[in-house]
């Protein structure tokens, strides 16, 4: 079996691919947050123009294909590994669970991922599919050029209390998922060092709190203050 085939079929290979895809998604979440926070600015032009750039630039379009690939690979491999774990001898597992110092969040990765998946599907239908495929978004003109008014779409969504609550719950689960996922990805890549591992763990905790909080500001500020 070639190294390429074994990377995609062995347990450790699957975990490696899953971790790399996860790290890629961690970077995406930061970029996506940075752009989305612009929707809170007084002038919607900045958000709409940036979203337009992100939706039309050829490099970003390629990135988008990689992104969706990353999500799918991450989810399919996580599912494979989880099924493999469930099929493994349960007795051994119970003992492992008693002895290793897994965090609370690490035990619920598959559960939190289901909530994130449901969120993602609803989220893409709400914004991405509406804007890209249904054309269910109004247009605005800046300097004689037409742009989708995505900001208006986001604002309309978060004037609904139900949507705000749904986003906040999903973001809480995202935080739980990231709390373990961040440091676990580095560990799978072999970074296990007396000095660096605590730093990675600390960064993971900070990231898993600040990023979901940053996202949560958007529905909350739109609902209560915009
Ligand atoms: C308050 C929070 C969020 C807002 C306001 C928001 C807004 C948006 C908007 C407006 C789009 C459509 C962009 C376009 O069609 O050009 C989009 C797409 C997308 N969102 Fe979000 N988003 C939020 C949170 C999230 C979270 C937490 C995730 C991941 C867990 C996520 C993943 C995605 C993905 C994968 C896409 C499609 C790719 C892209 O257009 O960049 N979003 N989001």
* 127 burial level (CB within 10 Å; 0-12, 13-18, 19+): middle
Nearest CA to ligand 1 atom 38: 64
Higher pLDDT, 134 or 112: 112
Q: What is the mean pLDDT of residues 50-76?
A: 90
Walk me through the domains of the chain, giving residue ranges and CATH numbers: 3-225 (1.20.1300.10)
User: Which of 21, 25, 32, 147 for a ligand 1 pocket mutation test, highest count of atoms within 8 Å of Cβ?
Assistant: 32
pLDDT of residue 95: 45
Give the distance (Å) from ligand 1 centre to CA of residue 179.
20
pLDDT of residue 189: 87
CA 141 to chain centre: 31
Distance CA(202)–CA(205), nearest Å, equals: 5
Question: For the whole prediction, is pTM greater than 0.85?
Answer: yes
Q: What is the pLDDT of residues 161-205, one digit of tens each?
A: 999 999 999 999 999 999 999 999 998 888 888 888 999 999 999
| Residue 52 alpha carbon, nearest atom of ligand 1 | 16
Predicted confidence band of residue 3 (pLDDT cuts 50, 70, 90): low
| Residue 212 alpha carbon, nearest atom of ligand 1 | 27
| Residue 55 alpha carbon, nearest atom of ligand 1 | 16
Check: CB of residue 23 under 8 Å from CB of residue 203: no
Q: Is the CB of 178 under 6 A from ligand 1?
A: no
Q: Is the CB of 120 under 6 A from ligand 1?
A: yes
Q: What average pLDDT does the structure give for the chain?
A: 88
- 3-class secondary structure, 194: coil
Q: Is the CB of 38 under 6 A from ligand 1?
A: no
Report DSSP letters for 69-85, one per residue.
HHHHHHHHHHHHHHHHH
Q: What is the pLDDT of residues 106-129, one digit of tens each?
A: 888 888 999 999 999 999 999 999
């Amino acid at each position: 079996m070639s190294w390429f085939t074994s990377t995609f079929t062995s347990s450790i290979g699957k975990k490696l691919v899953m971790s790399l895809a996860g790290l890629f998604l961690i970077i995406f979440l930061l970029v996506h947050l940075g752009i989305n926070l612009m929707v809170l600015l007084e002038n919607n032009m900045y958000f709409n123009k940036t979203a337009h750039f992100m939706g039309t630039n050829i490099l970003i379009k390629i990135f988008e294909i990689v992104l969706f690939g990353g999500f799918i690979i991450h989810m399919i491999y996580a599912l494979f590994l989880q099924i493999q774990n469930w099929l493994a001898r349960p007795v051994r597992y119970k003992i492992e669970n008693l002895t290793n110092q897994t965090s609370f969040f690490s035990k619920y990765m598959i559960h939190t991922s289901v909530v994130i998946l449901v969120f993602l599907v609803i989220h893409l239908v709400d914004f991405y599919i509406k804007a890209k495929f249904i054309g269910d978004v109004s247009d605005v003109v800046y300097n004689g050029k037409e742009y989708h008014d995505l900001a208006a779409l986001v604002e309309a969504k978060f004037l609904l209390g139900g949507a705000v609550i749904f986003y906040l719950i999903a973001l809480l689960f995202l935080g739980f998922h990231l709390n373990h996922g961040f440091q676990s990805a580095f560990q799978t890549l072999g970074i296990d060092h007396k000095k660096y591992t605590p730093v990675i763990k600390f960064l993971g905790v900070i990231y898993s709190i600040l990023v979901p909080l940053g996202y949560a500001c958007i529905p909350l500020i739109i609902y209560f203050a915009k």
